[in-house]
Amino acid sequence: MQFDISVFDTTLRDGTQGEGITLSAEDKVKIALKLDQLGVHYIEGGNPGSNSKDIEFFRRMRDMKLNAKITAFGSTRRKNSRADQDTSLVRIVESGVRAATLVGKSWDFHVTTALQTTLEENLAMIRESIAFLKRKEIETIFDAEHFFDGYKHNPEYALSAIRTAAEAGADWIVLCDTNGGSLPNEIYEIVSRVVQEIDRPIGIHTHNDCELAVANTLAAVQAGARQVQGTINGYGERCGNANLCSIIPNLQLKMGLRCISDEQLAQLTSIARYVSEIANAVMPVGQPYVGNAAFAHKGGIHASAILKDPKTYEHIPPELVGNKRRILVSELAGQSNIIHKAQELGLDLNAASERARTVIDRIKALEHEGYSFEGADASLELMLRDALGEETQIFRLESFKILVEKAGDRLVSEAIVKLDVDGDIVYTAAEGNGPVNALDNALRKALLQYYPEIANIVLTDYKVRVLDEKDATAAKVRVLIETSDFKNSWSTVGVSSNVIEASWEALVDSFRYALLNSAKKVPAKEEQREQLGIVNH
């Protein structure tokens, strides 16, 4: 398949220079396989001589058959030395890669200040380094560092740097806005001149310091650049690199320039979220195209129009990038939001019913009290099912008691829970590293004898937000709990002026939701109950 634009991913190299982003060799291998699945053409893995992780990564990638070209990164030879004796260049060759990126100076200020050498020596460093790699039959991509700043300061020298790279045999000349300070009109004008003067394919590498990295990349493509460099989710030093999760769909869906196949584009959201998980980085919910809120609709008028035709409030069908439409339910919700949500759940609720109005009024009243259902999908579903007469009370609380004891340096919390489970009264007690953890452990013990699948349910997130700061320690709080069974995840909410009660409410909803479609309860044997410390009456 012919592609109009070549996609160069540097998540594994430039992306790891972002604050808080650290990847092991194993992480890099996992992400590289996903990037290949996405269809990027180059995967820059790092500098094969800089650290043990990168050395291990390139060693492991040697035996893997990918469509993408694994690319090593390095700089031009050191000043006043020989390319064939430069450690960095030699290690690129030894890594066994088919392609390499060489970064070199194109701003005269950097040459004289950072490198502290002459302008002529810098050109020799570019020429000899590229020629060395080309003799080794390695595809060479020259990244002209600080090109746009250099061009603005001394255009002739900046052009001489990339002209030298082209004459030495570089396969790609990539223009870098390294400080991220250029504007789209500047990028367009400068790239337009370069395309006319340099007989080599041109690429673009931008940073996001003015929040223009994506716009600058698109401007460069409009001016004739044919390779785009960036990272997944825009990870990178300072404010980040150009975000490929926005660049690729903008090029393909808005500008009609093919980068990857349609099938690969439909994997964009899942891969963006996968990379964020591996990198242990929170993915912004409002990130364009792939964020959780990118196609979320909250206002009642919006939701009503979306139900008639999604084009009313969506610039593309979310499925094209692997995302999905979400109708949020909140105090701003109209009847259309509720109807759409009920339909998603397979519930019979129509616009003409009094029930729909009742549910909307109930939601608005609860949101006024501090509840937030747009981030608590499971609690919302339980409320809708309750409103429609479905039985969701799998168990009922009789009472609970919390004991907190400080003994020396140790603080111990114990919870005693009394439940009614389908007519059985169950007492359990459990310790935890805090009151909520103790309640969680006690509730699990009580339910485990009836629902063994409880063992596969884990709490993955717990958030507390103070709603009325002026009330200080007497303030009402909202607790959001996220739970997972390793296949799906769901969120629940509780609100109270007592953080324990709010936590219990969210905790109970998380288990109710998990067990809603559970098989008929199977009582544990007497000895199993004794082992768990459970008393039944």
Rounded mean pLDDT of 93-111? 97
The alpha carbon dihedral of 229, 233, 236, 238 has a sign of positive
Weakest mean pLDDT among 266-280, 351-365, 479-493, 523-537: 523-537
Closest CA to 36 of 73, 74, 71, 2: 71
Weakest mean pLDDT among 310-319, 461-470, 521-530: 521-530
Neighbours of 341 (CB within 10 A): 23
Rounded mean pLDDT of 5-16? 98
Per-residue pLDDT, 522: 43
Q: Output the CA angle 401-403-406, nearest 5 degrees.
A: 170
One DSSP character per residue, 103-124 reads EEE--HHHIIIII-S-HHHHHH
Global pTM exceeds 0.85? no
Q: What is the DSSP-derived secondary structure letter of residue 534?
A: -
* H/E segment holding residue 250: none
Is pLDDT above 70 for 137? Answer: yes
Closest CA to 5 of 221, 303, 168: 221
Q: What is the DSSP-derived secondary structure letter of residue 487?
A: S
Distances (CA, A) of 209 to 213, 244, 421: 8, 16, 57
| 20 vs 9: CA distance, rounded Å | 19
Q: Which residues of 210-242 are buried (b: 16+ CB within 10 A; e: fewer)?
A: bebbbbbbbbbbebbbbbbbbbbbbbbbeebbb
88 pLDDT band, cuts 50/70/90, is: very high
Is pLDDT above 90 for 339? Answer: no
Weakest mean pLDDT among 203-212, 316-325, 333-342: 333-342
Is pLDDT above 60 for 532? Answer: no
Q: Are 477 and 465 in contact (CB under 8 A)?
A: yes
Per-residue pLDDT, 359: 74
Average per-residue pLDDT in the chain?
88
Is pLDDT above 70 for 300? Answer: no
Higher-confidence residue: 381 or 344? 381
Superfamily name and number for 6-260: Aldolase class I (3.20.20.70)
Weakest mean pLDDT among 12-26, 113-127, 165-179, 329-343: 329-343
| 177 vs 219: CA distance, rounded Å | 13
Per-residue pLDDT, 531: 45
- Assigned architecture for domain 396-536: 2-Layer Sandwich (3.30)
| 50 vs 56: CA distance, rounded Å | 11
Give Cβ neighbours of residue 297 (< 8 Å, ≥ 6 apart). 303, 306, 313, 325, 326, 327, 328, 337
Per-residue pLDDT, 528: 43
Tens of pLDDT, residues 437-456: 999 999 999 998 888 888 88
Token look-up 């009614």 returns: 420
| 42 vs 395: CA distance, rounded Å | 55
140 pLDDT band, cuts 50/70/90, is: very high
Tens of pLDDT, residues 215-257: 999 999 999 999 999 999 999 999 999 999 999 999 999 999 9
Domain ranges of the chain: 6-260, 296-387, 396-536
Q: Please state the φ and ψ torsions of residue 488, each to the nearest 5 degrees.
A: -130, 165
Is pLDDT above 90 for 105? Answer: yes
Q: Are 399 and 418 in contact (CB under 8 A)?
A: yes
| 141 vs 9: CA distance, rounded Å | 13
Per-residue pLDDT, 523: 44
Rounded mean pLDDT of 412-416? 92
- Residue % of the chain over a pLDDT of 90: 62
